[in-house]
Structure 1
Amino acid sequence: MEARQRRPAPTKDEPAEPIKKVASESTSSSVSVLDILRIAGGILLFSSALSYLTTSGASLTWGYNPWWTRAAEWKNIFKPPVSLTDDELLAYDGTDPDKPIYLALNGTIYDVSISPATYGPGGSYHFFAGRDAARAFLTGCFDVDAVPDLRGVEQMYMPLEPWEKPLAADASDAEKAKHAALEKRAREKRKAMTKGDLKNRSAQELRKARQSVRDGLEHWHQLFRGDKGKAYRKVGEVKREEGWLQKLPKRTLCEQAEKGRPVRKYED
């Protein structure tokens, strides 16, 4: 009869097998996906609450308002984009209660129906409704520039020479004297510049002016697509035939935009 093989008794330095197994399980620090989601959700909830309190209830996302956080944008995914000519766009100026109120900015159509008191009949900005008035958004000449033609509008950001900026008719003697001194110094500085220097300066100023036009338009695009918290949204594009812009007569800067042009400064 075979003798039973006895398991060696555990030494003082090594616990019995069942005890080792329990100890191993109790010291396990594995984290499940559910735990991670709970932690992330708690952080987001806390951040949203803090944003709400900090901004006095204006935002749950610290002012960050991308398209994917807006319900209206998700609804647009299931709707075909609007495509209208400038003439067709006129029918969406708010005078027909069965149609939404649209306005366009540099070819992009936005729905501003949420603000009928502003863009509807009798509203303070009704002249924007039903049309693309991109030029007026930049020049501020709402009565004459409610058109999409942006040609030459960068000139409003191009600086004038001091002698090209007329003084006000009621300027004081002190103002006239200061203007004359400034003009004299500017003419001397300009005379000392080479043709290459003048050409490079003009090119740099033109690039900055064109960037100012893009920045100005982007400011309004952000408003109308809802980035600034307004419940407006993009719905489509204006369709125009090729070469439409060349068929229009070129415009000059309106009086307000011309008056607002900066004066070129010459360093001493």
Structure 2
Amino acid sequence: MADSELRQRKPQDAEEPVQAPKAKKSTKSKIRETDAESPWVDVLRVISFLFVASCALSYWISNGESFFWGMKNKPNYMRVDWWKAQMQGPLYLTPEQLAGYDGQDASKPVYVALNGTIYDVSNGRKMYGPGGPYSYFAGCDAARGFVTGCFAEDRTPDMRGVEDMFLPLDDPEVDAQWTTAEMKAMKDKEMADALKKVDDALANWVKFFANSKKYHKVGYVKKDEKWLEKEPRKKLCEAAQQGRSKRKNRNSEY
């Protein structure tokens, strides 16, 4: 009787089976699962970073001109023609060959020479090409015209006599106020000052083209060593001549 009751009675005090707690996933596992579930998240992050970096770099290089590389005057290292010129080396063109780069042929670059150095001014085709205000400088070395301002008349590198535009006009009545020795010393100083002004004016243009971000040097003009001796001496153009003034009186400040 006791044994049968024991067999029929449920063990109330028996413990239910306890399940083992699930192990917590590590942080690395979570990251791996996230990456596996959404692989495009990182792609979008990289693309976003590159886009922002590109905009920032464009803004910095263009000095605030554009966020999207739309700058008008790109630096030389971003221009294909500049790299081609660097790899090909400097060009050596005769004046006759240089004349073929005056912008008349749209398939050719526009070249301007100054003091024997040739610059590619194709980025300023509207200025230096046909019909442009500086078209007289295209396809030639017009150093004289850069200084005198006589674009059409002075399309030549011959600088002889340009200093006259900075010399005062002689006036017998005014000149009579000085002795011969004084006048000679004065004219020597006037000539030295005039020559310096010519050099400074030409140097400013050379500096402009040499430091330009829009134009770049491509070569040199190839001329005969005695070319200047074969050229007739030019007279000072009318516009430059009209800019001269008379020498001041002795009592006025010189």
Which residue in 1 is equivalent to 2:149? 140
TM value normalised by structure 1: 0.60
1:192 Cα shift? 4.2
Which residue in 2 is equivalent to 1:252? 235
Query: What SS class does the counterpart of residue 122 from structure 2 fall into?
Result: coil
Which residue in 1 is equivalent to 2:34? none
C-alpha distance in 2 between matches for 1:244 and 1:123:
29
Residues 205-220 of structure 1: pairs in structure 2 closer than 5 A: 205-220=190-205
User: Contact conserved, 2:82 with 2:216, CA < 8 A, in 1?
Assistant: no
Identity percentage of aligned residues: 45
C-alpha distance in 2 between matches for 1:123 and 1:85:
24
Q: Which runs of 4+ in 1 moved over 6 A?
A: none
User: Contact conserved, 1:223 with 1:230, CA < 8 A, in 2?
Assistant: no
Amino acid at match of 1:114: N
C-alpha distance in 2 between matches for 1:146 and 1:121:
15
C-alpha distance in 1 between matches for 2:219 and 2:197:
25
C-alpha distance in 1 between matches for 2:114 and 2:245:
25
Which residue in 1 is equivalent to 2:159? 150
TM value normalised by structure 2: 0.63
Query: What SS class does the counterpart of residue 109 from structure 1 fall into?
Result: strand
Residues 224-239 of structure 1: pairs in structure 2 closer than 5 A: 224-225=209-210, 227=211, 229-239=212-222
Which residue in 2 is equivalent to 1:86? 95
Which residue in 2 is equivalent to 1:262? 245
Query: What SS class does the counterpart of residue 95 from structure 1 fall into?
Result: coil
Residues 100-119 of structure 1: pairs in structure 2 closer than 5 A: 100-119=109-128
Which residue in 2 is equivalent to 1:99? 108
- Give aligned pairs, total: 179
Query: What SS class does the counterpart of residue 88 from structure 1 fall into?
Result: helix
C-alpha distance in 1 between matches for 2:124 and 2:82:
20
Amino acid at match of 2:195: R
Query: What SS class does the counterpart of residue 203 from structure 1 fall into?
Result: helix
1:208 Cα shift? 0.9
C-alpha distance in 1 between matches for 2:82 and 2:109:
18
C-alpha distance in 1 between matches for 2:86 and 2:101:
22
Cα deviation digits, residues 35-81 of structure 1 (max 9, x gap) = xxxxxxxxxxxxxx8xx6xxxx58xxxxxxxxxx8537984554411
Structure showing greater radius of gyration is: 2
Which residue in 2 is equivalent to 1:129? 138
Cα RMSD after superposing both structures: 2.5
Give unmatched runs, 5+ long, in structure 1.
1-48, 59-68, 164-183
C-alpha distance in 2 between matches for 1:143 and 1:243:
25
User: Contact conserved, 2:92 with 2:220, CA < 8 A, in 1?
Assistant: yes
